[in-house]
């Protein structure tokens, strides 16, 4: 085993892993010190602060320096939602969200707020409650979203994005929590006086490298965040609907995420804006001319689509989108371009000078991933890419925390964004990147467990291979793209059910047919193991075996917690989360950290007693803060 190293995302220290097998045998009192090392390209070894500030202490300090949510609406930075509701800006956004929630309820008579319902709706009261606030959980440098060209003067150097997450207080111990909703404040990033390009912007961000805590927030506030203009748009993402696994047994539960962008209207209010690269499927179906225009645009913009800089004409775009989990891109509702078109519609599209795209099927998948719903279900984390890291100052109970607060896609794309930042600092134009933006589901070539891989049937995905000891396997019936799985069979927390999906444009009609339970495969790992299946809330199944010491790390397995029997009944009785989790069930799961992510449909949950930065891969709805229901 090589020596350990420290990789930084914000100030979160992690170790990496080499082995892909867990030890068998009885539980021991002494576990491994840390996950073993592996060469991964998802993180820059000098730290990711020039791309993303995610350290909780630095973010809390930035809120005190004037970067809290409230000041965007002319109120104090740490304002509560009831005060926000009195402003024209926030009240228009919360009203628009409420209208969408009411429409969902009208369409489904079984949908309502509360755990007593099988179809559970987001409680819009949280949008205006005196107990609610929006905490700053990330600041990101989006040079990659620059506009302009090498010929025309630079219009901007991309954006600075402040991600805020809904949280609430509760006087009962162990009951305060974050909730599955984020608001991203988008602010243009421009050259300063006498600057003709984006070199200065890039250099100011580079100066943050290696800084942590108050030093990081102070440097950011006086550097790249100084003198920013007002916000141009707000982007909201919330879990609008959740069906528990007891209702959607084949899926392992289901959640629907509502996605909107809000632009300035009149008198300080906001209205919905067209969603970037997200076609209005219903409108294009009704109007053949619009569908024809979509095909024409796609064939005329192959190079820009390959680069990741293409922008769908706004007249073809939707204003509200919903993404659906689990099962991500295997569900047609998360792939709006593929809902409208197939490869035959794109005959004659040129792929001669492209870096990534080699086929019509590849272009469709590329565009699906660039849509709002496709992106938020590609290597995402419970429908999000940023939920926020947590430290000991977190108000969440220890068993209601995340070990990794950013998605695999977010972490894996850091390497590409870092290379772009360095190129811009050297004089490159960020609006014409020298290297195409990677696919959302395959931002690196690490080929780790759970990463997407090509099944050998399309040239676009030929380079998507798995590392030694893993094999590309079609676990759901995708036919073009599979996932990297251990060649020797599944171990702790690995996918163990073999499934086939029947998917349509109507996500509620999607069905997963289980072809193999996976128990026999798991027993090859440990004789006493079994496959925790979708019916119990584990999409795709997860090999599990009992353990006795919380946080014990054995190879790539960790002894992690899960809700005990009758947990939902306990929460429905308005008891605290900590009370309902005591004592948790313990089982070996796949261990995870920033560099070694969980597979799709799982999140890296905090485990008391585990090495710093290490958690257990769990379905996100087993983590209270990632589900809409049970919050009172």
To 10 degrees, what angle do helices 408-425 and 199-206 make?
120
Cβ atoms of 172 and 395 within 8 Å: the answer is no
Grouping H, G, I as helix, E, B as strand and the rest as coil, residue 220 is helix
How far is Cα 394 from Cα 388, in angstroms, rounded to an integer? 11
| Greatest C-alpha distance within the chain | 69
DSSP class of 574? T
What 3-7 contacts at long range (C-beta under 8 Å, 24+ apart), as own/partner pairs, is 3/37, 4/34, 4/37, 5/37, 5/45, 7/43, 7/45, 7/594, 7/595
DSSP class of 608? T
Torsion angles phi and psi, residue 346, rounded to 5: -110, 20
Q: Which residue has the tokens 């590329």?
A: 366
- H/E element holding 473? strand 470-473
Cβ atoms of 212 and 218 within 8 Å: the answer is no
Identify how many contiguous H helices and E strands the chain contains and give both numbers: 15, 24
pLDDT tens digit sequence for 319-344: 999 999 999 999 999 999 999 999 99
How far is Cα 271 from Cα 320, in angstroms, rounded to an integer? 11
User: Could you tell me which residues come within 8 angstroms of residue 30 by beta carbon, excluding any fewer than 6 positions away?
Assistant: none
How far is Cα 80 from Cα 69, in angstroms, rounded to an integer? 10
Q: What per-residue confidence (pLDDT) applies to 173? A: 63
Cβ atoms of 403 and 605 within 8 Å: the answer is yes
How far is Cα 501 from Cα 485, in angstroms, rounded to an integer? 19
Per-domain boundaries in the chain: 7-43+445-626, 52-271+318-324+379-425
Positions of the chain with pLDDT lower than 70, given as ranges: 1-29, 36-38, 43-46, 148-155, 173-174
Q: What per-residue confidence (pLDDT) applies to 16? A: 30
Q: Which residue has the tokens 């942590």?
A: 212
Q: Which whole-number Å values give the CA distances from 206 to 112, 219, 434, 516, 540, in the listed order?
A: 48, 11, 19, 50, 41
Grouping H, G, I as helix, E, B as strand and the rest as coil, residue 497 is coil
């Amino acid at each position: 085993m090589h020596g350990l190293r420290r990789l930084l995302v914000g100030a979160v220290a992690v170790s990496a892993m080499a082995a892909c097998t867990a030890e068998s045998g009885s539980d021991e009192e002494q576990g491994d010190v840390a996950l073993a090392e592996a060469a991964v390209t998802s993180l820059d070894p000098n730290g990711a602060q020039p791309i993303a500030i995610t350290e909780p202490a630095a973010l809390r300090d930035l809120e005190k320096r004037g970067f809290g949510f409230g000041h965007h609406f002319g109120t104090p930075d740490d304002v509560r939602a009831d005060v926000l509701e009195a402003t024209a800006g926030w009240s228009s956004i919360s009203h628009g969200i409420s209208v969408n929630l009411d429409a969902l309820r009208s369409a489904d008579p079984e949908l309502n707020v509360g755990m007593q319902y099988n179809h559970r709706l987001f409680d819009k009261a949280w949008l205006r409650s005196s107990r609610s606030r929006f905490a700053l959980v990330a600041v990101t440098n989006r040079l990659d979203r620059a506009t302009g060209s090498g010929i025309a003067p630079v219009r901007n150097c991309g954006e600075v994005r402040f991600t805020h997450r809904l949280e609430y207080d509760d006087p009962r111990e162990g009951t305060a929590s974050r909730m599955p909703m984020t608001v991203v404040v988008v602010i243009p990033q421009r050259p300063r006086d006498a600057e003709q390009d984006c070199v200065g912007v890039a250099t100011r961000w580079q100066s943050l490298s290696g800084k942590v805590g108050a030093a990081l927030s102070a440097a950011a506030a006086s550097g790249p965040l100084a003198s920013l203009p007002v916000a141009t748009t707000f982007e909201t993402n919330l879990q609008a609907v959740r069906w528990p696994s007891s209702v959607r047994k084949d899926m392992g539960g289901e959640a629907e995420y509502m996605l909107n962008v809000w632009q300035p209207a009149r008198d300080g209010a906001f209205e919905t804006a067209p969603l970037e690269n997200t076609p209005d499927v219903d409108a294009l179906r009704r109007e053949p001319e619009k569908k024809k225009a979509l095909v024409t645009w796609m064939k005329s913009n192959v190079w820009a689509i390959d680069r990741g800089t293409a922008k769908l004409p706004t007249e073809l775009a939707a204003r509200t989108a919903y993404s659906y989990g689990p099962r991500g891109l295997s569900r047609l509702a998360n792939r709006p371009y593929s809902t409208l078109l197939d490869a035959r519609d794109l005959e004659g599209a040129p792929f001669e000078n492209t870096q990534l795209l080699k086929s019509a099927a590849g272009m469709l998948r590329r565009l699906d991933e660039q849509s709002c719903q496709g992106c938020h279900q590609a290597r995402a984390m419970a429908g999000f890419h940023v939920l926020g890291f947590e430290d000991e100052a977190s108000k969440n109970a220890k068993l209601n925390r995340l070990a990794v607060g950013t998605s695999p896609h977010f972490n894996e794309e850091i390497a590409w964004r870092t290379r772009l930042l360095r190129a811009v600092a050297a004089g490159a134009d960020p609006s014409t990147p020298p290297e195409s933006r990677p696919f959302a589901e395959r931002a690196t070539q690490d080929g780790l467990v759970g990463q997407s891989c090509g099944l050998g049937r399309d040239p676009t995905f030929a380079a998507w291979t798995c590392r030694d000891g893993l094999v590309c396997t079609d676990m759901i019936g995708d036919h073009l793209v599979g996932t990297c799985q251990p060649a020797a069979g599944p171990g702790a927390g690995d996918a163990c059910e073999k499934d086939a999906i029947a998917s349509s444009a109507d996500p509620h009609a999607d069905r997963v047919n289980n072809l193999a339970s996976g128990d026999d495969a798991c027993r090859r790992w440990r004789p006493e193991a079994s496959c925790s299946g979708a019916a119990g809330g584990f999409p795709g199944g997860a090999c599990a075996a009992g353990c006795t010491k919380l946080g014990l790390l054995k190879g790539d397995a960790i002894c992690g917690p899960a809700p005990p029997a009758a947990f939902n009944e306990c929460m429905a009785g308005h008891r605290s989360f900590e009370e309902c989790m005591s004592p948790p069930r313990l089982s070996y799961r796949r261990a995870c950290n920033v560099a070694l992510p969980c597979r799709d449909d799982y999140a890296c949950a905090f485990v008391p007693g585990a090495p710093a930065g290490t958690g257990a891969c769990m379905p996100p709805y087993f983590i209270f803060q990632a589900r809409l229901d049970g919050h009172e």
